Amino acid sequence: MEKITEYFGSMVFDERVMKATLSEKVYKSLKRTIDRSTPLDISVANAVAAAMKDWAIEKGATHYTHWFQPMTGVTAEKHDSFITPAPDGRVIMEFSGKELVKGEPDASSFPSGGLRATFEARGYTAWDPTSYAFIKDGTLYIPTAFCSYTGEALDKKVPLLRSMEAINKQAMRVLKLFGNEGVRSVRTSVGPEQEYFLVDREMWKKRKDLVMTGRTLFGAMPPKGQEMEDHYFGSIKTRVAEYMADLDKELWKLGILAKTKHNEVAPAQHELAPIYKTTNIAADHNQLTMEVMKKVAERHGLVCLLHEKPFEGVNGSGKHNNWSISTDTGVNLLSPGETPYENAQFLLFLAAVIKAVDDYQDLLRLSVATAGNDHRLGANEAPPAIISIFLGDELTAILEAIENDKPYGGTAKEKMKLGVDVLPQFSKDTTDRNRTSPFAFTGNKFEFRMLGSSNSISCANIHLNAAVAEVLKQFADKLEGAKDFNKSLHDLIKKTIKDHKRIIFNGNGYDDSWVKEAEKRGLSNLRTTADCMPKICDKKNVDMLISHGIFTEAEIYSRCDIMLENYVKSVNIEAQTMVDMARKEIIPAVAKFAADTASAVAVKKSVSKAACKYETKLVEELSVLIDKMDEATTELEGTVSKLKTSGAITKESEYVRDKMIPAMDKLRAAADKAETMTAEDYYPFPAYDKLLFGV
Ligand code: ADP
Ligand code: MG
């Protein structure tokens, strides 16, 4: 067997390959660009391109592609081969620095939310040298950012890189105040835990809803759901284990640090967690992971479902965004330190995150909003749509002590003085036990748990980085002018805790009482995409995002439109799929079963005196349900046909929320009831028990 250490990263143009294939001068120059974002010289680009091409061809690649992340949520690629005709009729393989650095895909078929109308239709892709190029399926992939010709971002990478720069800039100001010599940059890191479902491919093919929309639009709960909780961390079935092994190998070849795999709470649900990386690389790797997950599933006769809610009544899938900030010298700024000064610095960064999350609840909520994720956040499932922070009892007690000028712990007599006292030790192990919190401190990082399993992690991190950058800026503005640094620092932390402690909640986030309590605290509860998305255009948010150079005003409005359009389109496709399935599959199947039963009654009655009470009642009830389904289908068809007349995109999204989704629920309720009364042989597609326990 091949050794992992040998094939890990074998398809990646990483440091090792760079060192081996580039001249020292070119390598150093490229490294400078990677580490410090200095502009790249064209002669360096040419040398890198040539080395990349030779390496890729040796690995069997024939094509290259600029790989980018348009607003569709998935990645895009256009493949060009390396071939160039030579005068003598042969071809030679060529790849120039210009081709490496810049690509020009036709931007017109990607969503731009009106940016195209005002700007040129053409866009360009620009190489992101901080994310390594790699080979997949015979093609050299070059991670790129995607912009319009006037420089407006058309993708998720550009604003992500901008947000990382914003937090770098502001965090550096704060670090300077604490006298951190030798720190040159600050970066955020992310480890995204990815949940997914696996279902059998043959069964999947029989369900139009799964094929068309990625989730089941009909389906009654099986007798056994996740009640037994025997799946969570349970032993992994052979077929799934083989899939996971294959997946790991493919990811490892691409240099992705897939680390942990286990079964999740729901049957057929699993999780994969990588080791954390710098945010933009983590984002690229997560997109790649999702693609590879789907592809490897095909080889195993499986389908990998990344939808947030493939099955009603069974836990949905999320993505936990483990986030931290650290210096290039290796200091995690969210890790409590050893000395009083380090502790004060930690508490300041902690306070910054607390304030950022409180001030920008709506931005965080809307950064994870999609039609699919609404099924988790807006419904009775983890985590709720209300944003709150879990800190754990010990850290909360420390903050309370600071806020109230009280001693912390049983033995301390003196009140806590920041910058002077050592922060009391608290055990990190106790911090991670609250699984219901949308934003939990887990010892040396925050875990943002509201992301949907199919979301790109970029949006969440753009808004999180931006919000924290803004608060760090406010802190730095204050502290830079302070006469007595220690006193100002103490006062600032104390005031921040006082002003923002409403966002801290260590209790059970699923509890109904929390919804009421949160309302009393003035926390927002934006249940659907239609509710939260327009908030990105609130003046407070627009001003903040513009001031840090994350987005231009036009970009913000266009993004809002694109996200609402995605919401409307997804639900509309679901509604149409439901109508189709109800009319062509479900109603005819139930009607046939009712008719056959009725005929059986007639036959039985002709030969015996039996009353046939059971069958008669069944036929009656089925007939009532068939009429209900028919009515509900007609109503749903009506909402589909009226959607376009409801007005601008915000109006359309409200129409979807208020009219279309309730109509879908009504049809589903009738159909699911009918399913439980119809003989299995008659039902046109595999039921939940087959899907959930069939692998
Ligand atoms: P769990 O949440 O299941 O208990 P862990 O907390 O160990 O598991 O890790 C979850 C994810 O958090 C992993 O992807 C891991 O790499 C990532 N992670 C660990 N430390 C950090 C950090 N300092 N910054 C960002 N992510 C981290
Ligand atoms: Mg976790």
Domain boundary among 518, 551, 584: 551
Residues 523 and 495 in one domain: yes
Same domain, 238 and 311: yes
pLDDT in tens, 518-540: 999 999 999 999 999 999 999 99
Kindly indicate the confidence band of residue 433, based on its pLDDT and cuts at 50, 70 and 90.
Answer: low
The residue nearest atom 16 of ligand 1, judged by CA position, is 275
CA distance 648 to 624: 39
Q: Residue 619's closest CA among 595, 635, 644? A: 595
Q: Is the pLDDT of residue 331 over 80?
A: yes
> Is the CB of residue 446 below 6 angstroms from any atom belonging to ligand 1?
no
Q: What are phi and psi of 414, to 5 degrees?
A: -80, 150
User: Does pLDDT of 407 surpass 90?
Assistant: no
At 224 the pLDDT is: 62
Cα–ligand 2 centroid distance for 315 (angstroms): 16
Question: Do 401 and 410 touch, CB atoms closer than 8 A?
Answer: no
Sign of CA dihedral 335, 341, 343, 344: negative
Residues 148 and 167 in one domain: no
Confidence of residue 416 (pLDDT cuts 50, 70, 90): low
Residues 167 and 150 in one domain: no
Is the CB of residue 278 below 6 angstroms from any atom belonging to ligand 1? no
Nearest one of 497, 514, 370 to 438, comparing CA atoms = 514
Mean per-residue pLDDT, 351-376:
97
Q: What is the pLDDT of residues 199-240, one digit of tens each?
A: 999 999 999 999 999 999 999 987 665 655 566 666 778 899
- Domain membership of residue 536 (yes or no) is yes
Q: 321 CA distance to ligand 1 centroid (A)?
A: 9
Distance CA 338, CA 222 (A): 53
Answer yes or no: is 559 within a domain: no
- d(CA 245, CA 243) in angstroms, rounded, equals 6
| Neighbouring residues of 647: CB distance < 8 A, sequence distance ≥ 6 | 655
Query: Using a 6 Å cutoff on CB, does residue 468 contact ligand 1?
Result: no
- Sign of torsion over alpha carbons 466, 470, 476, 477: positive
Place of tokens 């104390």: 494
The structure's pTM equals: 0.94
From atom 11 of ligand 1, which residue's Cα is the shortest distance away? 191
Candidates 229, 234, 167, 237; CA nearest to 199 is 237
488 domain residue, yes or no: yes
CATH code (residue 10): 3.10.20.70
Residue 412 has pLDDT above 50, yes or no: no
Supply the pLDDT for residue 207. 98
Least confident of 180-194, 284-298, 308-322, 598-612: 598-612
**Closest-lying ligand to the alpha carbon of 444?**
1
Asked if 13 contacts 259 with a C-beta cutoff of 8 angstroms, the reply is: no
Is the Cβ–Cβ distance between 394 and 506 less than 8 Å? Answer: no
From the CA of 3, how far away is ligand 1's center (Å)?
26
pLDDT averaged over every residue in the chain: 91
Q: Please tell me the least confidently modeled range out of 37-51, 144-158, 303-317, 425-439.
A: 425-439
Ligand 1 contact via 381 beta carbon (within 6 Å)? no
Whether residue 347 is found in the same domain as residue 285: yes
Write down which residue in 111, 128, 155 finishes a domain: 155
Q: Is residue 651 part of a domain?
A: yes
Cβ(282)–Cβ(270) below 8 Å: no
Q: 673 lies in a domain?
A: yes
Q: For ligand 1, is residue 335 a contact (CB within 6 Å)?
A: no
Q: How far apart are CA 531 and CA 560, in angstroms?
A: 12
Which ligand has its closest atom nearest to the C-alpha of 442? 1
CA of 190 to the centre of ligand 1 (A): 8
Using the 3D structure, point to which of 551, 580, 599 is the last residue of a domain. 551
Instruction: Please tell me the predicted confidence (pLDDT) of residue 286.
Output: 97
The segment with the largest mean pLDDT, out of 107-116, 418-427, 439-448, 509-518, is: 439-448
223 CB-contact burial (10 Å; exposed 0-12 / middle 13-18 / buried 19+): exposed
Report the domain count for the chain.
3
pLDDT in tens, 649-680: 999 999 999 999 999 999 999 999 999 999 99
How far is ligand 1, taken at its centre, from the CA of residue 490, in Å?
30
Query: Which residues form the domain of 688?
Result: 566-693
Count Cβ atoms within 10 A of the Cβ of residue 117 and give its class: 0-12 exposed, 13-18 middle, 19 or more buried.
Answer: exposed
Per-residue pLDDT reduced to its tens digit, 103-134:
887 666 677 766 655 445 678 899 999 999 99
Give me the count of residues in the chain.
695
Contact residues for 197 (Cβ-Cβ < 8 A; gap 6+): 266, 268, 269, 270, 304, 305, 307, 310, 311, 317
Ligand 1 center–CA 332 separation, angstroms: 13
- Please report the pLDDT score of residue 458 as a whole number: 97
- What pLDDT does 149 receive? 80
Within a domain: residue 556? no
Looking at the structure, do residues 167 and 208 belong to the same domain, yes or no? yes
Lowest mean pLDDT across 63-77, 242-256, 311-325, 574-588: 63-77
Query: Whole-angstrom Cα distance, residue 442 to residue 420?
Result: 25
Q: Tell me, what's the pLDDT at 230?
A: 60
CATH number at residue 572: 1.20.120.1560
CA 369 – CA 456 distance, rounded (Å): 11
Residues 347 and 452 both lie in one domain? yes
Q: Which two tokens stand for residue 564?
A: 């609402």
Rounded CA-CA distance 325/353 in Å is 11
Q: Are residues 611 and 468 in the same domain?
A: no
What is the CATH number for 432? Answer: 3.30.590.10
Is 524 in the same domain as 630? no
Same domain, 294 and 400: yes
> Closest ligand 1 atom to the C-alpha of 322?
26
Q: Please indicate, yes or no, if residue 281 is contained in any of the structural domains.
A: yes
* The two three-digit tokens of residue 546, written as one number: 């513009």
- β-pairing, 318-327 vs 446-452, is antiparallel
If asked whether residues 594 and 480 sit together in one domain, one would say no
Residue 313 forms part of a structural domain = yes
- Examine the domain organization and report whether 175 and 151 are in the same domain: no
- Three-class DSSP category at 492: helix
What average pLDDT does the segment 421-448 reach? Answer: 73
